[in-house]
Amino acid sequence: MPDAPAASLVERDPRPSPQRLLDDLVPPPHFTAARFETYRPDPSQPTQAEAVEALRDRAGRWSGAKSSSKGGAKGGGGALAKLFGRSGGSGGGGGKEGIYLDGGFGVGKTHLLTSLFHAVDGPASPAAYGTFVEYTNLAGALGFRQAVEALSAKRLVCIDEFELDDPGDTVLMSRLLRELSDAGTALAATSNTLPDALGEGRFAAEDFLREIQAVASRFDVFRVDGEDYRHRGLPTPPAPATDEQVRERAQAAQERGEGAVLDAFDALAGHLATVHPSRYGALLDGVTSVHWTGMRPISDQSVALRLVVLGDRMYDRDLPLVASGAPLDQLFPEELMRGGYRKKYARAVSRLTALAREGATA
């Protein structure tokens, strides 16, 4: 059972079971209603409509009981070649065992990936959905072999926000994707980076080219261009509240019996270092709005990356944010925005700004 809502996040120390991590491999609440029909391609960006058609084609092929492909999948031949075919789909030709959506943040890649999940998932074709971080955390919690066994039972594994942050993740994901492909499990992923450029600027990627190329070789790549839909045509982001306003809003929500949490930004940043990122979703169980005082620019990359993960889990749950201190567009200083994780930080600012707009109008 989820923990009862706490007055602040720093008071919480969730301990989700490995089974909870498996049960959570479904699209987040924010995208519960996402379907191909609800995606609105921008007429000025033809790659968006092309991505929809490519995913519809894959959904048609993958909606059904999974055939066994053991013993014939390596090298793209045998049963895998029969399973996925060598024609159909635009772009890469549909011949590979996975599909990969590459594009900037806010162009609707997650909407499309969750639409694919909903189109395929069913009793005869179960699917799993999670972020890259959630899958690496699952392998750590269950052990690699148990994670492979659990995911191999799926017809489709969807990986949102695919990224290679360090050598360990690179080797682990290369092996995981290979074993899932060998088991006949279909793969779909989204990322802000082309698969053969994963890891650039983050670690000595040239030392792991074999693994990176092995990952890239498993996907047909489709580019999705466009503007960030979260802020298209919207006014300037809301100005930060004062500390007093944040506290008053949090107290009023708590008095109404809502799951509002109030934290000092520095205390929260310190607490996140004691909670594994795989537990950030459970950290937000029962929470309905988030309030921060004293927000300031983060110069420490480890702290910044933890905040990115928390922001993603907040966005998944549509949790309004009310904050005082530095504006959100100053949260990550220039030296971080120029580094290897700049796309992560830009996505986090986009998502937190959307939540702050909700907080300002709640």
Q: Are 202 and 166 in contact (CB under 8 A)?
A: yes
Residues 150-173 have a mean pLDDT of 86
Out of 39-43, 136-140, 143-147, 259-263, least confident range: 136-140
pLDDT higher at 104 or 52: 52
Asked whether the predicted pLDDT for residue 227 surpasses 80, the reply is no
Q: Which tens digit of pLDDT belongs to each residue from 306-343?
A: 999 999 999 999 999 999 999 999 999 999 998 878 88
Looking at residue 89, its pLDDT comes to 36
CA atoms of 328 and 352, how far apart (whole Å): 7
Query: What are φ and ψ of residue 182, in 5° steps?
Result: -65, -25
Looking at residue 80, its pLDDT comes to 28
In sequence order, what DSSP letters do the residues of 230-286 get, joined into one string?
A: GGTT--SPPPPBPHHHHHHHHHHHHHTT--EEEEEHHHHHHHHTTS-GGGHHHHTTT
Point out which residues pair with 222 in neighbouring strands: 101
- Of 163, 128, 162, which Cα lies nearest the Cα of 148? 128
Residues 282-306 have a mean pLDDT of 95
Q: What proportions of the chain, in percent to the nearest 5, are helix, strand and coil?
A: 50, 10, 40
DSSP secondary-structure letter at 76?
Answer: G
Residue 1: both structure tokens together: 């059972």
Asked whether the predicted pLDDT for residue 21 surpasses 80, the reply is yes
Q: Which tens digit of pLDDT belongs to each residue from 30-43?
A: 899 999 999 999 89
Q: CB under 8 Å to 220, separation ≥6 — which residues?
A: 54, 89, 91, 92, 93, 94, 95, 96, 98, 99, 100
pTM, whole model, 2 decimals?
A: 0.78
Point out which residues pair with 322 in neighbouring strands: 291
Residues 101-125 have a mean pLDDT of 91
What torsion do the CA atoms of 142, 146, 148, 149 make, to the nearest 10 degrees? Answer: -140
Point out which residues pair with 99 in neighbouring strands: 188, 220
Query: What are φ and ψ of residue 35, in 5° steps?
Result: -140, 165
Q: Which tens digit of pLDDT belongs to each residue from 132-142?
A: 888 988 898 88
Point out which residues pair with 128 in neighbouring strands: 157
- Of 261, 337, 313, which Cα lies nearest the Cα of 292? 261
Query: Which whole-number Å values give the CA distances from 280 to 16, 137, 314, in the listed order?
Result: 10, 11, 9
Q: How confident is the model at residue 268 (pLDDT cuts 50, 70, 90)?
A: very high
pLDDT higher at 148 or 192: 148
